[in-house]
């Protein structure tokens, strides 16, 4: 059985398309027959809402599970999992997660709490996608500690480019201290209105600054009102506008992620054969 791959969708800047990317990457992978769990790690619960749920309807969220773990109460992670019509599962979030972040600071093995929660689910999924909050706080550190790799959505504008330096410094620290195997799968340019000079110049700047050391995905995700409309009705762009440019761009990302997973599987098999 192929190993489960955990991907963190992360950028400390808000409004760059992390939740939209998590949704459409997850649904796109499910369309290719993969078992996918999306974990909403943001107390704003944007991922949860964009898939059609609201926290006041939910009895168990990621915050509930963290709380039970911190209080050493029995729990089953599966109690919180919701099933979406487009074939993905969701572990939802709520505003209560923001208060728990303070308590996590004093917890034993505080950086590994999310990894422990997800460990029992790995046999049930091919991919786990972590939608991270727009900060580099304890929840994001937990996501980076639990992840095999990360995708960095970035909007083509100056402040987004500047902010990535801080993110990659944090990633380097996580590698050194907590998760030495953490990889950066790539930088994904999102919300790109390529008709503007600013967007075109920013895209060129991103590819110049990072393309030598990191993969910058060749397909940019176009700015589209349809993407926002899809989130508003709890759907992916594949369901809401299957023939649109955004759906085609996300399908390109999905194929890149599947190619990476196949390559990793082949490398692991070769390594085992050489022993």
- pLDDT tens by residue, 104-142: 877 878 889 999 999 999 999 999 999 999 998 999 999
Q: Which residue has the higher pLDDT, 55 or 116?
A: 116
The pLDDT assigned to 209 comes to: 81
The pLDDT assigned to 204 comes to: 87
* Residue 272 within any structural domain of the chain: no
Phi, then psi, of 5 in degrees rounded to 5? -110, 130
The residue whose two tokens read 């599970």 is 65
Q: Which domain holds residue 64?
A: 5-265
Buried b / exposed e over 147-185, threshold 16 CB at 10 Å, is bbbbbbbbbbbeebbebbeebeebbeebeeebbeebebb
The pLDDT assigned to 18 comes to: 95
**Separation of alpha carbons 163 and 223, rounded Å:** 20
* Residue 35 within any structural domain of the chain: yes
* Residue 274 within any structural domain of the chain: no
* Residue 214 within any structural domain of the chain: yes
The pLDDT assigned to 205 comes to: 84
Q: Which of 134-138, 182-186, 210-214, 258-262 has the lowest mean pLDDT?
A: 210-214
Percent of the chain scoring above 70 in pLDDT: 94
Mean pLDDT of the chain: 91
* Residue 93 within any structural domain of the chain: yes
The pLDDT assigned to 225 comes to: 92
* Residue 97 within any structural domain of the chain: yes
**Separation of alpha carbons 241 and 236, rounded Å:** 8
* Residue 270 within any structural domain of the chain: no
**pLDDT exceeds cutoff 70 at 268:** no
* Residue 273 within any structural domain of the chain: no
**pLDDT exceeds cutoff 60 at 233:** yes
**pLDDT exceeds cutoff 90 at 273:** no
**pLDDT exceeds cutoff 90 at 251:** yes
Nearest by Cα to 62 from 8, 2, 137, 143: 143
Q: Are strands 149-154 and 89-91 parallel, antiparallel or unpaired?
A: unpaired
We report the CATH number of the domain holding residue 89 as: 3.40.50.300
Structurally, how many domains does the chain consist of?
Answer: 1
Dihedral (C-alpha) 94, 95, 97, 99: value to the nearest 10 degrees?
Answer: -160
CB 101 within 8 A of CB 136: no
pTM: 0.93
Q: With bands split at pLDDT 50, 70 and 90, how would you rate the model's confidence at 61?
A: very high
Q: Which residue has the higher pLDDT, 212 or 118?
A: 118
């Amino acid at each position: 059985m192929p190993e489960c791959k955990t991907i963190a969708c992360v950028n400390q800047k808000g409004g760059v398309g992390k939740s939209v990317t998590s949704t459409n990457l997850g649904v796109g992978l499910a369309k290719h027959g993969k078992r996918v769990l999306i974990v909403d790690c943001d107390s704003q619960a944007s991922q949860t809402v964009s898939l059609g749920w609201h926290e006041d309807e939910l009895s168990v969220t990621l915050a509930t599970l963290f709380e039970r773990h911190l209080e050493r109460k029995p729990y089953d992670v599966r109690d919180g999992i919701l099933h979406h019509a487009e074939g993905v599962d969701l572990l939802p979030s709520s505003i209560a997660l923001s208060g728990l972040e303070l308590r996590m600071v004093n917890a034993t093995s505080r950086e590994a709490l999310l990894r422990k929660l997800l460990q029992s689910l790995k046999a049930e999924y091919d991919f786990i996608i972590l939608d991270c909050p727009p900060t580099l706080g304890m929840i994001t550190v937990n996501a980076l500690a639990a992840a095999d790799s990360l995708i960095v959505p970035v909007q083509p504008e100056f402040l987004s480019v500047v902010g990535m330096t801080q993110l990659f410094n944090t990633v380097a620290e996580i590698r050194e201290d907590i998760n030495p195997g953490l990889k950066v799968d790539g930088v994904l340019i999102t919300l790109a209105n390529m008709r503007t000079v600013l967007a075109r110049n920013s895209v060129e700047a991103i590819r110049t600054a990072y393309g030598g050391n990191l993969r910058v995905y060749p397909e940019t995700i176009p700015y589209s009102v349809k993407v926002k409309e899809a989130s508003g009705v709890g759907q992916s762009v594949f369901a809401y506008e299957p023939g649109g440019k955004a759906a085609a761009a996300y399908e390109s990302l999905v194929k890149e992620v599947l190619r990476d997973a196949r390559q990793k599987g082949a490398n692991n098999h070769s390594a085992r054969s050489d022993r």
